[in-house]
A = this chain, B = another copy of it.
Amino acid sequence: MVPHLVTALTGPINELEQRILDATPVIERWFRLEWMEHTPPLYCSVDIRNAGFKLAPVNTNLFPGGWHNLSPDTLPLAVQAGQAAIEKICPEARNLLIVPENGKPSSFYLASLVRLQEIFRMAGLNVRFGSIDPAVKRSQTIALPDGEKMTLEPAQRTRYRLGVKNFDPCTILLNNDLSAGPPGILEELHEQYLLPPLQAGWSVRRKSRHFRCYEEVSKRFGKLLGIDPWLINPMFASCGEIDIHEPSGGECLRTNVDALLTKIRRKYKEYGINEKPFVVVKADQGTRGLGMMTVRDVRDLDAPGQWVRGKAAASVVPRGEVIIQEGVLTNERIHDAVAEPVVYMIDRYVVGGFYRVHADRTTDENLNALGAHFVPLAFDGGAQIPKPGVRAGASAPNRFYMYGVVARLALVAASYELEATDPDLQDTD
């Protein structure tokens, strides 16, 4: 049932793992103090890549789908975390409204929504779905492949509140990344809790801002543990605008790709790593793996047709602002297919995760693409609890504890990021 995980990881990552295991009480206390000062997003998933010599988050999703990919064994953890979250936000709440993505939902997405509903129902809330898609005009019951059913209702706005028919929630859980900008229906809901807040949507969010916050977090964490923050931090640069009329994307992109590749090369040399450096160019805004391109040499940018198709057929042109991120290899494999862990959190807690596996992709490519499948392997049961005394690199639980730590560092970064863009906090400055 559980696929065999072929993971040949040695070297620096084991030292990092050992450092993290030894420092568990220090690390957990550090997080505890962070959460006294900052508020974690209500939920979050983080894509992590383990290159064997470094381990870094490459994507932090503030509107995670894919909840159905988590092992059902991890549900109690999610429920418990959900209870802790609600208690802080709205302890007297009876009702929670989930606002899903617009558009026709896939059966996968529906399964994810149903799992979310289950988590928050078990945490003690009546949960209903309120769509803000103008196309959803009336309540509809949708059957899922496994026989379950869910009801999607049009969200109804009153002057100060959002709800669905005969249902007035205390908290609104946004599972819609607002790629098209914040719709008016969600604005000025001052009487209810909208979580994550509007500024977590892609009209405001920038990957570069997130990774700037993450860089800060990784430096502080590196100091705490006495490690080079590069071991957990993907370097990056950003360009305000790339010029898609230029074959190479313009001077800014060219210069930054070249400079970043040089920096990575220097780091590889320092650590004696015999790999070819690469960077990933992606849109600074927007979700999923769209508009992503792997670049191994600045001359790759000059290739004709580069901006039309990108390197991989699934790529599309990243328009406007871009982030150029140090490429982090993933050296984990399940049945020979390249795999990367995705860690899920609710409130401040790691509640599960899975491997994203893609048979047709290589170790330096984006796996978040059509054809990926999901193996809820890593975080089954007690897997995220380290076993003290077991040597680093030798046990899945110890490795996954490390993944949970790095994912939570990205969660801390996300909390900084949301504070930095909080309109209420800015007004008071």
* Interface of A toward B, CB cutoff 8 Å: 24-25, 27-29, 31-33, 35-36, 71-77, 79-81, 83-84, 86-87, 91-94, 118, 121-126, 148, 348-349, 380-382, 384-386, 388-389
Contacts and interface: CB of A to CB of B under 8 A. Distances in A.
A25 B384 contact: no
15 contacts: A24-B124, A28-B122, A28-B123, A28-B125, A29-B125, A31-B124, A35-B87, A36-B91, A74-B76, A74-B382, A76-B381, A76-B385, A80-B81, A80-B349, A83-B348
A79 B80 CA distance: 11
> Residue among A25, A35, A73, A389 with the most chain B CB within 10 A?
A25
Contacts of A36: 91
A87 B75 CA distance: 22
Contacts of A81: 80
Contact of A91 (B27, B33, B87): B33
A423 B60 CA distance: 50
A32 B83 contact: yes
Contacts of A148: 389
Nearest to A149: B389
A28 B382 contact: no
A125 B25 contact: yes
A133 to B, nearest CB: 26
A124 B28 contact: yes
A143 to B, nearest CB: 13
A29 B385 contact: no
Contacts of A35: 87
6 smallest CB-CB distances across A and B, nearest first, come from A28-B124, A73-B381, A75-B382, A75-B385, A29-B124, A72-B382
Contacts of A125: 25, 28-29
Nearest to A94: B29
B124 A94 contact: no
Contacts of A381: 71-73, 76, 380-381
A38 to B, nearest CB: 13
A154 B17 CA distance: 34
How many copies are assembled? 2
Chain A facing B: main interface SS = helix
A168 to B, nearest CB: 15
Nearest to A381: B73
Contact of A77 (B76, B92, B122, B389): B76
A28 to B, nearest CB: 3
Contacts of A31: 124
A84 B81 CA distance: 9
Contacts of A28: 83, 122-125
Contacts of A84: 84
A91 B28 CA distance: 11
A33 B349 CA distance: 22
A33 B87 CA distance: 9
> Residue among A76, A121, A122, A385 with the most chain B CB within 10 A?
A76
Nearest to A348: B83
Given A24-B121, A80-B81, A349-B80, A73 B29 contact: no
Given A86-B32, A91-B36, A25 B76 contact: no
Contacts of A389: 148
Nearest to A81: B80
Nearest to A87: B32
A87 B35 CA distance: 9
Nearest to A96: B25
A26 to B, nearest CB: 8
A129 to B, nearest CB: 15
B32 A79 contact: no
Contacts of A32: 83, 86-87, 91-92, 124
Contacts of A29: 92-94, 124-125
Nearest to A84: B84
A92 B123 CA distance: 27
A58 to B, nearest CB: 25
